Structure 1
Amino acid sequence: MDATFDLREHTADVGIGASGPTLDSVFGALGDGLAAAQCDSIPADGERFSFSLIAESREALLFDYLDQLIYERDVRLVLPVDNRITIDPGEEWRLDASSRGVPLEAVEAREVKAVTYSEMRIEEVENGWEAYVVLDV
């Protein structure tokens, strides 16, 4: 079973809930949810790019990951989609990611300003993992 996400209204912000069999898949689904919060229809074009992150906790890693996707959008002028993640939990949490960068000129994108720690949760459940994050729009 692949991970899934759903967008949830949250006062002036947008929440993304995700569930999946692995923590990797849930992070990827949240990245795809971030893209869906910005754009209703995603074209098939775009070049893949990669990046890595290290953080002191799962929550910090999730925040840094989604923040990096927003940074990549702003610097590369692309909407990161089809997110693939590998997480290595050790003394420090390491994430290796790749995304397909759809040129912003090819989409009608809404702005997401930032990811927040507000109401953030990541938890292991009976069938895998669940997570929730709020975006400032």
Structure 2
Amino acid sequence: MSFALREHTADVAVEATGESLDAVFGAVADGMAAAMCDDIPEADGERFDFTVAAESGEALLFDYLDELIYERDVRGVLPVDNEAAVSAPSSDGERTGEWTLSGSARGIALGSVEARDLKAVTYSEMDLSETADGWHAYVVFDV
């Protein structure tokens, strides 16, 4: 699993790859944290759990990242060390129905780090696609 921050006109984008949906979702979330903070402490913060459901993979990725931004704002923490367990429904070999995610993150108090603000996740240029090596994701954030 890996991610890279990409410049995007007045915004920031995260491009990520992973061997599985779980890995690519976690990598995008870790990329989002890196876009907010250059230096992430190793041991600070407690883990918190949450669940998200949506009608498609792209909608689930959007809602997952939006939930992390919400948790950041409500808890006053930077969500890092993100873990995601994605369940994609299948019907006759096609992915249809509700997608779900059980996630967790380690929340580092915003007062203990120098963090930049990301306003929101966007659907602009969003990509979630299966590749020969696993999964690819591209997400643009409004700054």
- TM-score range (shorter-chain normalised) is over 0.9
- Residue in 1 that maps onto 2:65: 66
The structure 1 segments of at least 4 consecutive aligned residues displaced by more than 2 Å after TM superposition are: none
What is the Cα-based RMSD across aligned positions, in Å? 0.5
Aligned-partner SS, 1:118: coil
1:114 aligns with 2:112: no
- Residue in 2 that maps onto 1:22: 20
Match of 1:37 among 35, 53, 64: 35
Q: TM-score, normalised by structure 2?
A: 0.93
Q: C-alpha offsets along residues 18-37 of structure 1, whole Å, 9 cap, x if unaligned? A: 00100110000000001000
Which runs of no fewer than 5 residues in structure 2 stay unpaired? 90-96
Which runs of no fewer than 5 residues in structure 1 stay unpaired? none
Aligned-partner SS, 1:110: coil
State the one-letter code of the partner of 1:134: V
* Distance in 2 between residues matched to 1:69 and 1:34, nearest whole Å: 9
Q: TM-score, normalised by structure 1?
A: 0.97
Kindly name which structure, 1 or 2, has the bigger radius of gyration based on alpha carbons.
2
The structural deviation recorded for 1:81 is 0.3
Match of 2:130 among 95, 102, 124: 124
1:95 aligns with 2:94: no
Q: C-alpha offsets along residues 45-74 of structure 1, whole Å, 9 cap, x if unaligned? A: 000000001100000000000000000000
- Percent identity over the alignment? 64
* Distance in 2 between residues matched to 1:75 and 1:6, nearest whole Å: 27
